[in-house]
Structure 1
Amino acid sequence: MRRVVFYLFFDHDGQVDDYVLHALENLRSHSEHIFVVSNSELDAHNRARLETVADTVWVRENVGFDVWGYKEAMTEFTQERLVEYDEIILMNYTFFGPVKSFDPLFESMDAQHDLDFWGVTNHGEVVPHPFNADLERMPMHIQSHWIAIRKSLFASDDFVTYWATMPMITSYNESIDYHESRFTKHFSDLGYTFDVAYPESDYPSIHPVFDNATMILRAGCPIVKRRTFFHDPLYLDRNAILGREIDEILIANGYPTELVYSNLARTTQARVLATNLSLVEILPEEDLGYDESNPLRIAAVVHLYYEDMTDEILDRLQMLPGSFDLYITTTDFSKKSIIEATLARRSVVGEVRVVESNRGRAESAFFIGCRDVIQSDAYDLIVKLHSKRSPQDDFAKAELFKRHLLENLLGSPGYTANVLRLFQQHPTLGMVFPPIIHMAYPTLGHAWFTNREAAAVEAKRLGITVPFDESTPVAPYGTMLIARPQALRRIADGGYTYDDFPDDSNWGDSNLPHVLERLMGYAAQQDGFHIRQTLNIKFASIYYAFLEYKLQSVAALMPAYPEEQVAFLREVHRQRAAGVFPHALTVHDIAEVPTLAILKYRVMRRSPRLGIVLRPGYQLARGALRRLRRAVVSRRH
């Protein structure tokens, strides 16, 4: 069968990731012509990458979403050329594949000679329409990530008219209304026949490629939606969608999942990705198989402001498998002498450097004082430690923070071997560090503190476009980590000097050390590296118990499901900002909020059309409740 593939590509940065090339390479044996239409500007490098797998690479202005991309690409190709082929496929960049091979899919669908069009997956009917209040229902439809169209349809006047009358698309919802959810019914009603390789009627949901991804993959579906991994984690939680199991299925079926990690790391909020793929590794003390025949070349870079902690840090470094090169920075020559004496006593070889300035403390010592180590190609990994004492905190809190960092990075020889083994297993793993500490510190939901605005400025200067996490960045809090040098170079090459860092009199949030602490992960992700967090079994047990208790204590004051809890709390904050609660919030006040807020959330999520109809009544009820609260407040005072 002579076939043309029109592949719609878009990337915010115009970067063509390997997953795109992988998909197109595997379509080549089934396609006589591959036409890539890019809604992104492409530089020479990225255009050349596409040209290695495509016959045509055509760049257009990013207007009309994918719908107008297809429309104008077919016009560019010309109808005269189209009718020389037996089938065209309109597909886009929103899936990873093939899982195993595209061959069975094409063999199955090519055998159905009486079809006019077909798709890989479809979405079941939704009543009422979730995006358009003027429509009663969204019909069952083939999903637009892959619609194959035979000559009997695309050579028809019906097809030409469909595209000629297509209005300009100005929103995602319009792309659903005017094309994706319309195409199947429109042509089916005209008498054209279709089929779906993996129909929703075979699965327990109306959206199986998303809600039943593990089932549909096990049934042989060769694609998985990218959105599965960057969608709202609260939705995945509510619907028991396990991204890590999807990932395991991809691995078991031979899909190179590093293509998934490298693309999503650059384009997805780190906290969302870490949650949906469960990138927190709970590692045992027993070595699971670090490959000593192919050891990683390691540089240990340590800042010792407190020289009396030298033995403690060296004890931790002895957990590393095999040899390593040691670089120590400190702040004056008297400390250097003490450190060198400790090294000599322990027969440890290492280079001790006195930094030019203590402005920036451990961060300037690392990114400036050891910039040459980071920029060197002599090492596969850098282990970054420092003498953490946190004298501003109570002893127990400071000791827990230090233990949290050291024991969850370098807990024991077997545990540490397992941490390093992650780098052997995952070429795109750029950095590991312990998860955010949430015992004794008010970090959960607040860890940007006052650093976000300054971080945005610095990210722009460094060329970091990875979307920021909303409230709690995935970051190496306490700045102890293990990383590939390449994952650190964006910051190391940032041209920083000691004068850019604050002295001790100006130390605090919003200054450069705290900003870089939160940007390290984003910088690694910008260059296609993903991040994992590591915990030993002991701390995982402790933290889970306390985290569950804290969550239960908060959740007891709210609705049951996290999605509804978030909606409820946003309503509380909105009303407080509007002055509904002029006094300090009490449990009584909070208890009054959910009735209308949760009702609104449930209706708008499940039936937007009904929600629009009921909006005037909701607004009247909310106004009445506000007046009642004000009356109660006035009586209290």
Structure 2
Amino acid sequence: MKTAELVTSHQRPSRPYPAGGRRALVYVVYDTRGDVEAYIPYALEKLREHCDHIIVVVNGNLTDRGRRTLETVSDILSERENVGYDIWGYKHGLDLLGPRIADFDEVVLANDTWFGPVRPFGPLFERMDKRPLHFWGMTDHLRVEPNPFTDSDYLAYHLQSYWMAVRKDMFLSPEWEQYWRELPPLTTYADAVAKHEAVFTERFVELGFSGEVAFPTLTDKIENHAVLYAEQLLDAGCPTLKRRPFFQWPPFMDRLAVVGKWTLQAAERYGYPMELIYQDLARNVEPRTLNADAALFDVLSDADSTYDPERALRVVVLAHVFYVDMTEEILERVGFLPGSYDLVITTPDEERATAIRRILNERSLPGAAEVRVVESNNGRDQAAFYIGCRDILTSGDYDVVLKVHSKKTPQDGFAVGRHFKRQQFENLLHSANYVANALALFQREPGLGLAFPPMVHLGHPTLGHAWWQNRPGVEELAAGLGIAVPLDEVSPLAPYGSMFFARPEALALLVDAGWTYEKFGGAEAYVDGGLAHVLERLPVYAAGERGFHSRTIACADYVAASYTALDYNVDQMSATMPESTMHQIEFLKRAGDFEYGTTRDFIGIYARLHRPDEEVRLLSIYDRTERVRSAFWRLRHPRTWFHRR
């Protein structure tokens, strides 16, 4: 790919990177936990081949483990107050270089907002070293008018600040020194873009310095191609893959038809270690956003299997059986597992245990089988799993655990209960090849923590509401368990119905929490807001904190029914609103809660959409008017009012 050159009428002399030259790197890191994600040392190790001196600047404080990690891949490691974003981090790194900057021929300013190298750095540096220039960037952004951050003037064409390389003639100039000396405070992301990123390129070009972009914008559309055309950039040889495509708001990516899965497939095709990507994203992105952006949903085949029996996984089935009449059905389904597996059935009393043992005795199972009577039915299958089977989950004897239980959901009516049961069992244990393919996911992805059916929606009002009253409890438990994975805004990514495949170590934070049956409470506590329902929504977040990602899985039969229902429902809801789904969602979010469509509700909606600063005042006027109207009505109808009371 050709480079794009920025030219001014009073161009200063420029030259290629000298043979045998020396390059310094200032690399800025920010992590909410003070840890260091594994993709960072990987990138720095690869950059070491091209950089003689590496300064790592950390915005914020490091853990001891994070510090040890970065010390092995840097020459200077410096922690600073987290102010000024990565831009002031760059300034700090340049200040650390001080007069020694003259010892180098090029300085690269880069941050941790990208994975790489997906494609090798070597060809990039070789190509850019030959170019006579003063500075160059990895990617660029077209001019935008008006400026989206100020709603006036324009946002200048610029090289993006996550990667900027500057040659000696520029960084030893008085203009360079003046620029950094006068760098304004940056207190918001908009400041970082409008006061530096969109200023830097135009400023230095106007001063006569020549700049180039290694991978120019691929379209004349005003779009961030480093995010929206990431797959095409990789195909063009770009070493860096921005992280943003995998945490960008999914409706925005949907509107532009950006399929993150295709980008990930490209990265994998070029040999990048994918677990570095999944581990970072699992810890730092809302799981439902990641599930959508990265398309971590697999429709597994019943026709053939990709499971490798030569690398057989050690599997244990933990089944809680309350309804004994479902034991045979569960055993039939579990029998689809490839090869040998162990089985532990928990049940709340000895009478049920005796009946279950009788059924087991009539079957030939491939592995060990055990029936356990748990101390209490408090918490039902959740307590039986985390308390009654804790010794199994912590034993280290198994690679994968399959959690199932005798699900009937009789309180929801026959059809709804039957569907929920089928939705769980068929999307976990549909056929022998299907189950083998589910386990094959764990063989291929050592960082896969959980696999479970997608959120149930047929017969259930879960869409948009699935936190119910459980979010406060999840927030409290997550804080207590040290889970910093961001919680999903609308509905959590969770194994609703509480059946799943999992690596035991992915559940360690929940298994080791020291639950008791008393904490779960009795039958009256098995409601939204109770511990059992809170725990149902926590596994993905607990796994993510340990760096394990999650996938949703489904069989083709179920997807056919589920997708067509969703397709029709979204089509119906979209019919009364204009433009794309993204615009419709933005409109509805601005409008806020519609409640029951009363006059007061619509006054609130009008205010939020058109006069947001006056919502409280307008609602207060309405409430006073209603009180006056009600008092007047009572005066006019005293007898009726008395009887109504």
Q: When the two structures are superposed, what TM-score results if normalisation uses the length of structure 2?
A: 0.90
Alpha-carbon deviations, 1:272-313, whole Å to 9, x = none? 100011111011102332101000100111111112211111
Residues 306-347 of structure 1 show CA distances to partners (whole Å, capped at 9, x for unaligned) of: 122111111111000000011111111111111111111113
Verify the 8 A CA contact 1:487 1:527 in the aligned structure 2: yes
1:468 aligns with 2:487: yes
Q: Is 1:31 aligned to residue 51 of structure 2? A: yes
Aligned length: 604
Tell me which residue corresponds to 2:107.
88
Q: How far apart in 1 are the matches of 2:334 and 2:213?
A: 57
Residues 1:580 and 1:543: Cα distance change in structure 2 (over 3 Å): closer
Contact 2:26–2:55, Cα closer than 8 Å, also in 1:
yes
SS at match of 2:487: coil
Q: Contact between 1:571 and 1:593, CA under 8 Å: does it hold in 2?
A: no
CA contact (8 A) 2:404 2:498 kept: yes
- 2:122 is equivalent to residue 122 of structure 1: no
- Other-structure match for 1:612: none
Pairs within 5 Å for 1:173-192? 173-192=190-209
Q: CA deviation at 1:417?
A: 0.6
Q: 3-state SS of the aligned residue for 1:326?
A: strand
In structure 1, the partner of 2:16 is none
Partner of 2:95: 75
Shifted more, 347-356 versus 202-211: the winner is 202-211
Task: Please give the secondary structure, in 2, of the residue aligned with 1:81.
Answer: helix
Give the Cα separation in 1 of the matches to 2:225 and 2:534.
Answer: 41
Letter in 2 for 1:340: R
Residue 18 in 1 paired to residue 18 in 2? no
Find out whether 1:341 has 2:358 as its counterpart: yes
Among 66, 69, 86, which residue is 1:46 paired with?
A: 66
Q: Is the 1:203–1:212 Cα contact (8 Å) retained in structure 2?
A: no
**Pair 1:277–1:343, CA change in 2 (3 A):** same
Q: Which residue of 2 aligns with 1:102?
A: 121
- State how far apart, in whole Å, the 2-side matches of 1:401 and 1:201 are: 47
Alpha carbons 2:119, 2:238 under 8 Å: kept: no
How far 1:204 moved relative to its partner? 5.1
> Of residues 210, 234, 245 in structure 1, which corresponds to 2:227?
210
* 1:258-269 superposed matches below 5 A: 258-269=275-286
Residue in 1 aligned with 2:636? Answer: none
Secondary structure of 1:37's aligned partner: strand
The amino acid of 1:127's aligned partner reads: E
8 Å CA contact retained: 2:58, 2:78:
yes
Distance 2:591 2:162 in 1: 39
Residue equivalent to 1:494: 513
Alpha-carbon shift at residue 203 of structure 1 (Å): 6.1
Counterpart pick for 2:582 among 548, 563, 576: 563
Q: C-alpha distance in 2, partners of 1:567/1:6?
A: 38
Unaligned runs of 5+ in 2: 1-20, 634-645
Q: Which amino acid aligns with 1:26?
A: K
Where in structure 1 do 4 or more consecutive aligned residues deviate above 3 Å? 201-206
3-state SS of 1:89 partner: strand
Of 394, 419, 430 in structure 2, the residue corresponding to residue 400 of structure 1 is: 419
Please tell me whether residue 250 in structure 1 is matched to residue 270 in structure 2: no
SS state of the match for residue 200, structure 1?
coil
- How much does 1:555 deviate? 1.1
Aligned counterparts of 1:213 and 1:288: Cα–Cα separation in 2 = 32
2:163 is the counterpart of 1:146: yes
**Is this contact kept in 2: 1:64–1:168, CA < 8 A?**
yes
The residue aligned with 2:250 is: 233
Structure 1 counterpart of 2:320, which letter? H
SS at match of 2:599: coil
Decide whether aligned partners of structure 1 residues 257 and 205 sit closer, same or farther in structure 2, where only a CA change above 3 A counts: farther
Q: Which one-letter code corresponds to 1:77 in the other structure?
A: L
Measure the CA separation in 2 of the matches of 1:490 and 1:287: 35
| Secondary structure at the counterpart of residue 408 of structure 1 | helix
Deviations 1:174-202 (A, max 9, x none): 11122111110111110001110011266
Q: Residue 111 of structure 1 corresponds to which residue in structure 2?
A: 130
Structure 1: gaps of 5 or more residues: 601-614
Q: 1:53 to 1:508 in 2, by over 3 A?
A: same
**Aligned partner of 1:128: which letter?**
P
| Paired position in structure 2 for 1:421 | 440
Q: In the TM superposition, what are the counterparts of 1:464-613 in structure 2 within 5 Å?
A: 464-573=483-592, 581-582=598-599, 597=609
The answer for the alignment partner of 1:364 in structure 2 is 383
Task: Give how far 1:396 is off.
Answer: 1.3
Inter-CA distance 493–198: structure 2 relative to 1 (3 Å threshold): same
**Equivalent residue, structure 1, for 2:317:** 300
Matching residue of 2:82 = 62
Map Cα deviations across residues 118-153 of structure 1 (whole Å, 9 max, x no partner): 0110111000011124x5001001101000000101
Cα distance in 2 for residues equivalent to 1:43 and 1:489: 21
Measured at CA, do residues 54 and 584 of structure 1 come closer, stay the same or move farther in structure 2, by a change above 3 Å? closer
TM-score of the pair, normalised by structure 1: 0.91
Aligned partners of 2:33 and 2:343: how far apart in 1?
38
Q: Provide the C-alpha distance between the structure 1 equivalents of 2:400 and 2:49, rounded to a whole number of angstroms.
A: 40
Write out per-residue CA displacement over residues 353-407 of structure 1, whole angstroms, 9 at most, x where no aligned residue: 1111111110000000000111111110000001111121111111111111111
CA contact (8 A) 2:526 2:533 kept: no
Preserved contact between residue 229 and residue 273 of structure 1 (Cα < 8 Å): yes
Whole-Å separation in 2 of the counterparts to 1:467 and 1:485: 22
SS at match of 1:474: coil
Partners of 2:484 and 2:599 in 1: CA distance: 39
- Which residue pairs with 2:463 in the alignment? 444
Cα deviation 1:576-629 (Å, max 9, x = unaligned): 58x9943677xxx99x979x95xx8xxxxxxxxxxxxxx99x999x99xx99xx
What is the distance in 1 between the residues matched to 2:280 and 2:164? 24
Partner of 1:316: 333
1:409 deviates by: 0.6
2:139 corresponds to which letter in structure 1?
Answer: T
Inter-partner Cα distance in structure 2 for 1:101 and 1:288:
34
Cα distance in 2, alignment partners of residues 258 and 553 from structure 1: 39
Aligned-CA RMSD value: 2.5
- The Cα of 1:484 is off from its aligned counterpart by 0.3
- In structure 2, what is the Cα distance between the partners aligned to 1:39 and 1:184? 24
Q: Is the 8 A contact 2:144 2:222 kept in 1?
A: no
Amino acid at match of 2:588: L
